[in-house]
Structure 1
Amino acid sequence: MPKTLETPRLQLRKMTPADSAEVFQNWTSSEVVAKYLTWAPHSSVEVTKDYLTFEEKNREEGWGIVLKETNQLIGNIAVIDNKPKIKTKTIGYVLGEKFWNYGYMSEALTEVINFLFETTDVNRIEAEHDIKNPGSGRVMEKSGMIFEGVLRKSGFNNQGIVDVAVYSILRSDSI
């Protein structure tokens, strides 16, 4: 079970199927949120409940993002790929559109990066985004990640086959 993390404005905690209605309302049902993601908007709370049941059982490094001020779940962040042989973890995240442009995701990503460097032997943390979604790249930059380049036609999301921008931070960058 992942450790609960705290920032000045956020609490990062394990999500459970009991969070289904709030998660569905705040982001999994949104076509705007899912535009550049790899999963389609959820058609019902039951789909979200199934997703959260799977996440609860299978995701060791994943957190729901709770806005402390309102105790509302506003998004989630997780290690979506772990490559222990090369000590690399890939991060994925999503935030409900009502909560965009307040710095919440940069705050959450920075906390997760710090936590992973402090508690695991990871040497590289990476993330990528569709180049047509530059806001996600700004989140990565604000969290200390460095732009590495664009991989042409190497990603697939709800827009089809897309170019992706790759960012990373190394343990030596964070010291």
Structure 2
Amino acid sequence: MIVMIKTLETSRLQLRKMTISDSAEVFENWTSSEVVAKYLTWAPHSSLEVTEEYLSFEEKNRREGWGIVLKGSNQLIGNIAVIDDKEKIKTKTMGYVLGEKFWNQGYMSEALTRVINFLFETTDVNRIEAEHDVNNPSSGRVMKKSGMTFEGVLRNAGLNNQGIVDVAIYSILRSDLS
């Protein structure tokens, strides 16, 4: 079954469903990069075939996930997705990744803000949260710029390519937008 995902727009970005036809660009721009994967939970992809398998899974299964396309160049620069949905407590957890050459230009904050607004507008979610390795403060800045509030640090609560790590938690509540 192919999952339908609504395309979202910002002034500089288009957020759209990724497909297997995006494999080469995704592999080149972020999945093959050791620098990009440093604080992530998955290893850099060793081949285009690994990225194709990943995108095949995403295309069939991801209900709330978008490729981040730079308007003008039409270049796929990263992706953003709901990586956990705790329906009973109306909480969604966000994850995102951006190609290194697109860092520090505000793209991820712009994408995250748009997705947060979309989720509050179209679902009954009450809380949207995200976490990052405390050694990756740039990710925390993205969360803060997107309106999320720092809640604290959970010690030895995360596992990524650096091992077991402390994670900083951020969230935004529906009531924060009123």
> Match of 1:109, SS?
helix
Q: Aligned ranges for residues 1-175 of structure 1 at < 5 Å?
A: 1-175=4-178
Deviation at 1:158, TM superposition (A): 0.1
Whole-Å separation in 1 of the counterparts to 2:86 and 2:59 = 21
Deviation at 1:111, TM superposition (A): 0.1
Deviation at 1:71, TM superposition (A): 0.2
Cα deviation per residue 1:117-142 (whole Å; 9 max; x = unaligned)?
A: 00000000000000000000000000
Deviation at 1:58, TM superposition (A): 0.9
**Equivalent residues, number:** 175
Deviation at 1:50, TM superposition (A): 0.2
Deviation at 1:3, TM superposition (A): 0.4
With structure 2 as the length reference, what TM-score do the two structures score?
0.98
Whole-Å separation in 2 of the counterparts to 1:70 and 1:140 = 26
Whole-Å separation in 1 of the counterparts to 2:113 and 2:11 = 12
With structure 1 as the length reference, what TM-score do the two structures score?
1.00
Cα deviation per residue 1:75-118 (whole Å; 9 max; x = unaligned)?
A: 00000000000000000000000000000000000000000000
The amino acid that maps onto 1:75 is: G
Give the alignment's Cα RMSD to 1 decimal: 0.4
Deviation at 1:69, TM superposition (A): 1.9
> Match of 1:132, SS?
coil
The amino acid that maps onto 1:127 is: A
> Match of 2:43, SS?
coil
Deviation at 1:2, TM superposition (A): 1.2
Amino-acid identity (%): 84
Runs of 4+ with >6 A deviation: none
Q: Which runs of 5+ in 2 are unaligned?
A: none
Whole-Å separation in 2 of the counterparts to 1:145 and 1:99 = 22
Whole-Å separation in 2 of the counterparts to 1:92 and 1:60 = 14
